Structure 1
Amino acid sequence: MTKRRKVLFVDDEQNILDTFRASLRKRFKVETALGPLEGVEKIKTSGPYAVVVSDLKMPDMDGITFLSKVQELSPDSVRIMLTGHADLNSAISAVNDGAVFRFLTKPSPMEVMIRTLEIATKQYSLVVAERELLRGTLRGCIKVLTDILSLVNPEAFGRSERVRRLSDYVGKHLNLKHQLFLDLAAMLCQLGCVTLTDTVMNKVYEGKELSAEEQQIYAMHPSITAGMLSQIPRMDKVSEIILNQNVSLADDPTLSVEARVLKACLDYDSLIQNGMEKQDAIDELRKREGVYDSKVIDVLERGTAGEEGYVRRELLLSELRPRMILEEALWSTDKVHIMAEGTEVTETALMRIANFMKAKRLPETIRALVPIE
């Protein structure tokens, strides 16, 4: 049996709401709200709704303003405008300002309403399925790539992990709509480094000056990553963020906010890894006039930028668990680089550590950030 989707009708006339509820309740999970203010409260407390149908002419807030509010609160909800005033200007405004999916006139024949709701609920299902693909299957594939990076190039993986936590902190405080794209871009931003030599990578991470040729080679790693991702469907937005991770805002004022966040976090991490204190690093970023988005730097300056919810501990290696974060690099006794400073412990990492422990090639303890339960 097909799952019945929730539909919210918002109107200032109770008899119209009662008609919709009585006529449609067998096909859809119908809920109603008497006016836009009650509608906003319903969306906040009883959502998400697959479809929101709103009258245009209502007191306190017109339907266009209300559906724009719906778009902010529940962007996946499909929005339909219903009005007895079928003028072209209202239709254009409703579509443009409220991102309305359909525009129906009152009185709308019930068969037209049913057909419209069926199309709208299918649209909602497609949107939800797309998002779940990104969050589930696609993210799992990306995790495999980053696990390989952690084995091949621990330094590059460590940097991507530090930057991911920083960008997650910044993105959430900026209330980004596309936080998932930013998260994936941060996870993969160093993937192209697998093609670089140890000599170049060591210079980069030690803050040493690169030759002109080395700088040119290193500058190519974002485009190399983008080329790898071009083989994966639905990664266009992530590829764009990665391609622009080193672009200054002064050079391209149209940079997406996700690319602005990623660049600021990457540069901040470089300064910290070169031994600079946090506030000194922030001050240095601010000196580079026009390079960064000031709102992003403001967030980086607040708090601990990604270390909230952790406590510092010195642990036995056997006590390491997933989600802990190394506060120092882990090297074997024979100088094999196992994990970089700032790397989050994963199941894959624990398997590798266990193998080195069996061979008695690791120190006994390590400093780590332990998540507060």
Structure 2
Amino acid sequence: MSNRILFVDDEPNVLQSIRRSLRKQFDVDTAEGGEEALQKLTANGSYAVIVSDMRMPGMNGVELLSQAKVDSPDTVRMMLTGNADQQTAVDAVNHGDIFRFLNKPCQPDELANAINSGIRQHELITAEKELLQNTLRGSIKALADVLSLSNPEIFGRMTRFKTRIQHTAEEMGLADVWKYESVAMLSQIGCVAVPEDLVRRRIGGHKLANDELAEYAAHAAIGADLVKTIPRMEYVAQGIRYQEKNYDGSGFPKDRVKGDDIPVAARLLKVVLDFDGLESAGTPPDIAIERMKSAAGVYDPAILEAFDRSMRADLALAAVSVNIMQLTDNMILAEDVKSSNGTLLIAKGQETTLSARRHLQNYKDKGLIGSSVIVHETTA
């Protein structure tokens, strides 16, 4: 049920009183202490608002709400306490990111007004999340799809990057995976301003001269500058900007950022890009991974290990031949699709979206490709 409210206090009488006074207005749940509250947050799904007492045995209110921020970040957090000293308020705001601080005794009308404000705040948070995760992500996917079909050799890789980053992020247990997917799907957009021959040589695994490498790396800054103009996409832009940055701080851009100060999205993308380059040059996956592990200072070790685990799982997936007319959205091409004259139509790793399926059907109807393609089926 939506807009559930969780009250936390170590005194059962207080919780009973709150339930009686608010049950007609709100869907009220209660927990007698921090541990029980965290269990309910995990087991029962998201609450719109959590209201916690400050002084409780074992886990105090600040500690609880700080952990609740991690476990259920969309839940609006409030503090209700009879001991409102200044330090308590400071700790509550700084560590628990408290939306509202209420003093005991709190009149039912005042408490109800605060909860209604918290519910409205929760609705704003979830509405923005919906916009970012679905509307904006759908727009990014559509753009990537168009670019992939217009130039599959250069832009067809972006869907492949997205899938690999998604699996690696999930392997690491990272939150908001859509952010990393968005970085991957927009990562090559700056290549429109780089000579096509240079891009082809780079993605084909050819060694570039230092001046050519710098010219190619400029695509990251160009792409970041394009994306940063989109509201709420600042993090995505930074991930794009630092995709050519090595973990030890070398690479591009030439600044002092290194190690964990490099955006996680960029560290993920660096691993995926370099693996893809080695694979495109004909290096077997297991040898490519070992070569990357031997490159000291280039990759985040934790990300490279997670990528290795996720890739091994992906390689274990069976590839099957599917008639073009039977393709669905939950399939990923396991091999490049080329026309009878050798022209690359769709790169391996690309999802069989509606536009991709129509593209293939058009070429099949003209007799320029066969009637089936090789795909991996996914659960996405």
- TM-score normalised by length of structure 1: 0.92
206-215 or 44-53, larger mean C-alpha shift:
206-215
Change (3 A) 1:8 1:335: same
Q: 1:141 aligns with which of 139, 144, 162?
A: 139
Q: Secondary structure at the match of 2:311?
A: coil
Structure 1: gaps of 5 or more residues: none
CA distance in 2, matches of 1:116, 1:70: 19
Alpha-carbon displacement from aligned partner over 1:260-296 (angstroms, at most 9, x marks no partner): 1111111122112222222322222222222221110
Alpha-carbon displacement from aligned partner over 1:225-270 (angstroms, at most 9, x marks no partner): 2233244322111111111111122212311222211111111221
The offset of 1:213, in angstroms, is 5.0
CA distance in 1, matches of 2:84, 2:344: 69
Q: How many aligned positions are there?
A: 371
Q: 2:178: which partner in 1?
A: 180
Change (3 A) 1:41 1:71: same
List aligned pairs for 1:183-332, cutoff 5 A.
Answer: 183-212=181-210, 214-251=212-249, 252-253=257-258, 254-304=261-311, 307=314, 310-332=317-339
Q: 2:31: which partner in 1?
A: 33
- Which residue identity is paired with 1:356? Y
Q: Secondary structure at the match of 2:121?
A: helix
Q: 1:335: which partner in 2?
A: 342
- Which residue identity is paired with 2:128? E
The offset of 1:306, in angstroms, is 6.3
Q: 2:365 aligns with which of 348, 352, 358?
A: 358
Percent identity at matched positions?
36
CA contact (8 A) 1:50 1:121 kept: yes
The offset of 1:347, in angstroms, is 0.9
Q: 1:68: which partner in 2?
A: 66
42-51 or 301-310, larger mean C-alpha shift:
301-310
Change (3 A) 1:110 1:22: same
The offset of 1:211, in angstroms, is 4.5
Change (3 A) 1:116 1:308: farther
Change (3 A) 1:143 1:295: same
Q: 2:169 aligns with which of 171, 177, 182?
A: 171
- Which residue identity is paired with 1:174? M
- Which residue identity is paired with 1:184? S
The offset of 1:171, in angstroms, is 0.8
Q: 1:349: which partner in 2?
A: 356
CA contact (8 A) 1:311 1:371 kept: no
CA distance in 2, matches of 1:209, 1:142: 31
Alpha-carbon displacement from aligned partner over 1:158-198 (angstroms, at most 9, x marks no partner): 32122111111111122222322111111111122234444
Q: 2:104 aligns with which of 99, 103, 106?
A: 106
Q: 1:156: which partner in 2?
A: 154
CA contact (8 A) 1:8 1:30 kept: yes
CA contact (8 A) 2:204 2:277 kept: no
CA contact (8 A) 1:165 1:306 kept: no
CA distance in 2, matches of 1:20, 1:319: 57
245-254 or 318-327, larger mean C-alpha shift:
318-327
1:371 maps to 2:369: no
The offset of 1:205, in angstroms, is 2.5
The offset of 1:4, in angstroms, is 7.1
CA contact (8 A) 1:326 1:366 kept: yes
108-117 or 305-314, larger mean C-alpha shift:
305-314
CA contact (8 A) 2:154 2:200 kept: no
CA distance in 1, matches of 2:159, 2:312: 13
- Which residue identity is paired with 2:248? A
Q: 1:15: which partner in 2?
A: 13
Change (3 A) 1:354 1:106: same
Structure 2: gaps of 5 or more residues: 250-256
CA distance in 2, matches of 1:240, 1:358: 43
The offset of 1:309, in angstroms, is 8.3
CA distance in 2, matches of 1:18, 1:360: 74
Q: Secondary structure at the match of 1:281?
A: helix
CA contact (8 A) 2:2 2:48 kept: no
